Amino acid sequence: MRLAIRVRPGSAREGVGGAYGDQAVVVRVNARAVDGRATEAALRAVAAAFGVRRADVLLVSGATSRDKVVEILGNDQELTERARALRMA
């Protein structure tokens, strides 16, 4: 499934949850937006939140933006339910 995320680099606490706009899930990471560190931390956080391996989370667009689209490989129904729960968190 494809998921829109909004990355918040430099956060005091890391986590995935909450909504940004209509569809994006907020991803808070400690890493700063330098040399792709925040992007990599966000991909790791998304993988952990969805219970998949890091290799199953692929960046589709937004490498240098806070707004990104990721592809998560796995059971679409389970991933969709999890995404819905994370938006509500």
CATH code: domain 2-88 is 3.30.1200.10
64 vs 73: CA distance, rounded Å: 22
pLDDT value, residue 89: 84
The string of pLDDT tens digits covering residues 42-80 is 999 999 999 999 999 999 999 999 999 999 999 999 999
Radius of gyration for the chain, computed over Cα atoms and rounded to the nearest angstrom: 12
At residue 74, the 3 state secondary structure works out as coil
